[in-house]
Structure 1
Amino acid sequence: MKPGERDQPAKILIVDDEPQIMRVLRTALSAQGYSVRVASNGAEGADMAREWNPDLVITDVSMPEMNGVDLCRELRQESQVPIIVLSVRNNERMKIEALDAGADDYVTKPFSIQELQARVRAQLRRTVASTGEEPDVIDIGDFHIDKLQHRVTVRGQEVHLTPKQFDLLTCFAERPDQVLTHRTLLHAVWGANADQPEYLRVNIGQLRKKIEAADEPRYIITEPWIGYRFLPSGNDDQ
């Protein structure tokens, strides 16, 4: 078996109270060769996740009995299974809460099946590639990061970062193409009690100046009102 491949179809659990969306997702993902099960609310989804042990969970955020935010919290008590949340465009608050509760990514309704399938592939690739150990060197896209030496090269050129900038870049590189909320980044770099978003804005701006080749960001993409997404090979990753 080649690296990044599975010896059996990935198991995907879909949790959504809208039957039409559930049918569309089940049909589209089954056609891609995945093993798919569905649940109509968060409580049912939590029980099925414990019983079936899926490789990926896709959940709506607004549901009866247990919403997607509470489902994320429930799953994170027992598992690191990748979670993609589905959210309507005007429900930013619940989207942010879900990401802070442990969701790995989100897709905004209405969405294209192609976009969702790409997000699914990205999450499953990271799961297969994960060894459970923290590497001392990260080689990803245009970036080479040596955590022991605190050295970074971008497109083969060494760049000099402050400790906080280095920690930010490392945090991004360990979770590529994943939405990281402002709170997640603040806690990861400045500690659990950090609540000064201006620290993050300033350091993101300085980091971009050092790693971007042009004025328009290619690597650190702003997710409005939510946080940032890191594309290690630039916008071509999308």
Structure 2
Amino acid sequence: MAPAKILVVDDDPAIRNLIVRFLAQKNYQIESAVDGKTALAVFDQFHPDLVVLDVNLPDVNGYTLCERMQSRTDVFVLMLTSRTDSADKIQGFSKGADDYLTKPFDLQELEYRVGAILRRQRTVTPSERPILVYGKLAIDQESREVKINDNLVSLTALEFDLLLFLASSPGKVWTRSELIQEVWEYDYVGDQRVVDVHIGQIRKKIEPDPSNPTWIETVRRVGYKFNPTS
């Protein structure tokens, strides 16, 4: 199996070079960029499996760049930031980031998070029933498309994974920790509110009234469930 390809985007040469050298020693294919413009050019040529992306870049906000990359492919994104407040992380997750690492960080933690993210699989094995249909909502597992009334809904890769997982077990109640384990597919060590952020983003896109959701219901003090009869 070919080694995974990782694009490192950070304008700080010391941090960028440190990450590049460290991950190269772990037998990953590495490319790097110092700003958003260069990163997008490399991204389109390199087709990375994962982008390690700094939030603060000289020419573009890292969140915006994350969103642009997510619109091109289902690439994994690990955000780097020196900020520690929850609002900053929530903004990153809402733009499609898969995980967060706060500077300064330990290289072993970086290795763990990179490896854990890459162990996830976003490809769907074709089945006899690749399209889940619940009333006006259709979820195509093979094309990874979601439609409401035949209108395409734009979801990030992680939002699609989360919606598909819930819709595949209609009526079943899942705790936040269970969803993280099943959808993120590793022991996420951050704030479990990341689940709430992504649920909120999905609701904005598929619910007629996101403040009164009917597809994805909140089960108080437990978690969430998918309502197939919405």
Task: Classify the TM-score, shorter chain.
Answer: 0.5 to 0.7
Q: Identity of counterpart residues, as a percentage?
A: 28
Give the letter for the 1:113 counterpart: L
CA distance, structure 1, for counterparts of residue 195 and residue 166 of structure 2: 25
Structure 2 residue runs without a partner (length 5+): 130-164, 225-230
Contact 1:13–1:56 (CA under 8 A) maintained in structure 2: yes
Let me know the Cα RMSD of the aligned residues.
Answer: 3.5
Aligned to 1:176: 185
Q: Deviations over 1:18-51 (max 9, x none)?
A: 1000011011101111111110012211111111
Aligned to 1:165: 173
Q: For 1:172-211, what aligned pairs fall within 5 Å after superposition?
A: 172=180, 173-177=182-186, 180-188=194-202, 191-192=206-207, 193-195=209-211, 203=219, 205-207=221-223
The answer to whether residue 71 in structure 2 is matched with residue 77 in structure 1 is: yes
Pick aligned residue for 2:40 from 23, 46, 58: 46
Aligned to 1:90: 84
What is the TM-score normalised by the length of structure 1? Answer: 0.63
Relative distance call for 1:102 and 1:194 in structure 2 (3 A) is same
Relative distance call for 1:67 and 1:134 in structure 2 (3 A) is farther
Give the letter for the 2:124 counterpart: G
What is the TM-score normalised by the length of structure 2? Answer: 0.65
Q: Deviations over 1:145-194 (max 9, x none)?
A: 997676xxxxxxxxxxxx37349677542223357352312344795553
Give the letter for the 2:221 counterpart: G
Pick aligned residue for 1:132 from 102, 124, 128: 124
1:203 is displaced (CA, Å) by 3.3
CA distance, structure 1, for counterparts of residue 169 and residue 103 of structure 2: 43
Give the letter for the 1:185 counterpart: I
1:93 is displaced (CA, Å) by 3.4
Relative distance call for 1:169 and 1:39 in structure 2 (3 A) is same
Aligned to 1:228: none
CA distance, structure 2, for counterparts of residue 164 and residue 88 of structure 1: 38
Give the letter for the 1:182 counterpart: D
Matched positions, count: 178
Give the letter for the 1:194 counterpart: P
